[in-house]
């Protein structure tokens, strides 16, 4: 969990003259930052640009307007962006809560208990995380058509859980494993039942980990597209699908600036979340994929 935080940075040796090592380092840093942020910056600049200047190439905002955001929320062209935002929040919240509830217990058992078939359970969870969504979408499509679930919220939440659950189990297992054993032990000595020890000692300690996992799960659900594009209706459509199908005032005309405004709205909360919780997200991500 703390691998990334404690990693000792290499020291530089400076002995006068130009320090080529740090020139190379900072050069690299600039390249990486520009590479990562330039397209995102371009999206934001375009989002604030008057639609008549869509293809303006000035690298800073020109003809600034908020009209594009109004257009994004405008329902007269058949777009329902506000509803889609609400849908994504609702689907993401349900997926996260269920994934966390189910995943926490499994992660605790995997990290802190001895039992038969542990490696098999781990293998199943890992296998599930590598699963191609396209392999389950056909039967789900048919099943949901038969039981009239097409376009319902549960038809979107249930498949999402299959992506989120392996992630929560893996991330939480590594967090639980790194927790001190003594606290739980002494709680048990003091007469706590295993359930009480878990509730009173482990859970409070795990709150930050649960929070990190919740962010990761929510982002994963927020990003889902394949299943939602097939199983949602106009009413339950999440934002990813809504943005992909954004219609302009004229048919066959791509409303670029409105799409960029919508993209900005969808992305900025996530980016803020990522900036604020950067450390924990990184440790959660690497814990989920690299164990060692």
Partner 1 sequence: MAGIDLDPATPELAPTGKKRKYINSGHGKRAALLIAPTVVVLAIVIGYPIVSAVVLSLKKDSGLDPSTGMFVQGGFAGVDNYVHWLFQRCTSADGQAGACPPGNLGAQFWQSTGITFFFAAVTVSLETAFGLWMAVIMNRSFVGRGLLRAAVLVPWAIPTAVTAKLWYFIFAYNGIANKLLHTHILWTGDEWPARFAIILADVWKTTPFMALLILAGLQMIPTDVYEAAKVDGASAWQRFTSITMPLVKPALMVAVLFRVLDALRMYDLPAILTGGGGGSGNATTTLSILVVDQIKQGFNSASALSTITFVLIFLVAFLLVKVTGASVVDNPDQPKKEALQ
- 17, 139, 191, 251: residue in contact with partner 1 (rule CB under 8 A): 139
Residues in Cβ contact with 96 at an 8 Å cutoff, skipping those fewer than 6 apart: 164, 214, 217, 218, 221
Q: Which of 84, 172, 209, 241 binds partner 1 (CB under 8 A)?
A: 241
Identify the CA nearest to 84 among candidates 228, 216, 220, 214. 228
Nearest one of 182, 226, 184 to 201, comparing CA atoms: 184
* 196 binds partner 1 per the rule CB under 8 A: no
Judged by CB under 8 A, the stretch of 77-85, 111-119, 148-156, 201-209 that binds partner 1 is 111-119
- Minimal CA–CA distance to 85: which of 272, 215, 181, 222? 222
Please report whether residue 141 would count as binding partner 1 according to CB under 8 A. yes
- Contact status, residue 238 vs residue 156, Cβ threshold 8 Å: yes
Q: At what angle do helices 153-177 and 278-289 cross, to 10 degrees?
A: 90
Q: Does 82 bind partner 1 (CB under 8 A)?
A: no
Whole-angstrom Cα distance, residue 220 to residue 129? Answer: 12
If one asks whether residue 112 binds partner 1 (CB under 8 A), the answer comes out as yes
State yes or no: residue 185 binds partner 1 (CB under 8 A).
yes
What number of other Cβ atoms are within 10 A of residue 49's Cβ? 24
Judged by CB under 8 A, which stretch of 54-62, 65-73, 74-82, 202-210 contacts partner 1?
Answer: 54-62
Window contacting partner 1 (CB under 8 A); options: 60-68, 73-81, 89-97, 242-250: 242-250
* Closest CB 38 distance from partner 1, rounded Å: 9
Q: Is the dihedral of CA 110, 287, 198, 125 positive or negative?
A: negative
Judged by CB under 8 A, does residue 285 bind partner 1? yes
Q: Quick check: 25 binds partner 1 (CB under 8 A)?
A: yes
Structure tokens at 218: 């929510």
Q: Which is nearer to partner 1, 76 or 120 (CB)?
A: 120
Q: Is 18 among the residues that bind partner 1 (CB under 8 A)?
A: no
| Contact pick of 74, 219, 247, 248 for partner 1 (by CB under 8 A) | 219
CB of 262 to partner 1, least distance (A): 8
Nearer Cβ to partner 1 (60/181): 181
Instruction: Determine if 3 is a binding residue for partner 1 (CB under 8 A).
Output: yes
Binding segment for partner 1 (CB under 8 A), chosen from 61-69, 76-84, 168-176, 202-210, is 168-176
3-class DSSP state of 49:
strand
Q: Which one of residues 116, 191, 250, 251 is an interface residue with partner 1 (CB under 8 A)? A: 116
Q: Of these, 7, 16, 17, 251, which contacts partner 1 (CB under 8 A)? A: 7
Decide: is 247 part of the binding site for partner 1 (CB under 8 A).
no
CA distance 292 to 290: 6
Provide the 8-state DSSP code for 224: -
- In order of 135, 159, 195, 225, 226, the CA distances from 230 in angstroms are 13, 12, 42, 9, 7
Q: In whole angstroms, how far apart are CA 6 and each of 1, 3, 22?
A: 10, 6, 21
Taking the complex as a whole, how short is the minimal distance between the CB of residue 266 and partner 1, in angstroms?
6
CB of 103 to partner 1, least distance (A): 7
């Amino acid at each position: 969990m703390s691998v990334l935080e404690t990693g000792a940075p290499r020291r530089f040796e400076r002995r006068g003259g130009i320090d080529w090592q740090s020139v190379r380092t900072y050069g690299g840093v600039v390249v990486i930052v520009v590479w990562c942020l330039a397209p995102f910056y371009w999206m934001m600049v375009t989002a604030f640009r008057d639609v008549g200047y869509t293809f303006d190439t000035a690298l800073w905002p020109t003809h600034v307007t908020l009209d594009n955001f109004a257009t994004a929320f405008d329902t007269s062209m058949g777009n329902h962006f506000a509803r889609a935002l609400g849908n994504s929040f609702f689907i993401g919240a349900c997926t996260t809560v269920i994934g966390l509830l189910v995943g926490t217990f499994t992660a605790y058992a995997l990290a802190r208990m001895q039992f038969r078939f542990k490696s098999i359970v781990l293998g199943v969870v890992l296998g599930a995380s590598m699963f191609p969504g396209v392999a389950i979408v056909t039967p789900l499509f048919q099943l949901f058509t038969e039981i009239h679930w097409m376009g319902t919220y549960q038809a979107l939440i249930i498949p999402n859980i299959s992506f989120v659950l392996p992630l929560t189990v893996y991330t939480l297992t590594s967090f639980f494993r790194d927790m001190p054993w003594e606290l739980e032990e002494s709680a048990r000595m003091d007469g706590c039942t295993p359930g009480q020890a878990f509730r009173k000692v482990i859970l409070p300690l795990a709150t930050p980990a649960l929070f990190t996992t919740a962010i990761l799960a929510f982002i994963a659900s927020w990003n889902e597209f394949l299943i939602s594009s097939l199983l949602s209706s106009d009413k339950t459509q999440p934002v990813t699908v809504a943005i992909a199908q954004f219609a302009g005032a004229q048919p066959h005309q791509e409303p670029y600036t409105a799409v960029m405004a919508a993209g900005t709205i969808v992305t900025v909360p996530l980016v803020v979340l990522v900036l604020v919780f950067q450390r924990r997200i990184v440790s959660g991500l690497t814990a989920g994929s690299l164990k060692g």
